[in-house]
Amino acid sequence: MTAPGQEGGPSDVNATGADERAARWQKENAEAIACYNDYIEKNGLPLDEFRMF
């Protein structure tokens, strides 16, 4: 039995699944992310005028 975090351990399977889900999510939402980024470039961050830093 291997400890979590070691090669072949249970966390490797979970990390691979999470990586695949993250990649799929990014691909499925790429258009929306690009639109939001364009909006931010043109209009700035929402509520930016209230930021204290």
- Residue 14's pLDDT is what? 75
Query: What is the tally of structural domains in the chain?
Result: 1
**6: in domain:** no
**34: in domain:** yes
Rg (alpha carbons) of the chain, rounded to whole number: 19
**1: in domain:** no
- Residue 3's pLDDT is what? 57
- Residue 30's pLDDT is what? 99
**5: in domain:** no
14, 8 in Cβ contact below 8 A? no
**9: in domain:** no
- Give percent of the chain above pLDDT 90: 58
Report the SS3 class of residue 15: helix
Contacts by 40-45 with C-beta closer than 8 Å and gap 24+?
Answer: none
Asked if the model's pLDDT at residue 2 lies above 60, the reply is no
Expressed as residue numbers, the domain containing 18 is 14-50
Which residue reads 């931010």 in tokens? 40
What's CA 22's distance to the chain center, in Å? Answer: 6
pLDDT in tens, 9-53: 555 667 889 999 999 999 999 999 999 999 999 999 999 889 888
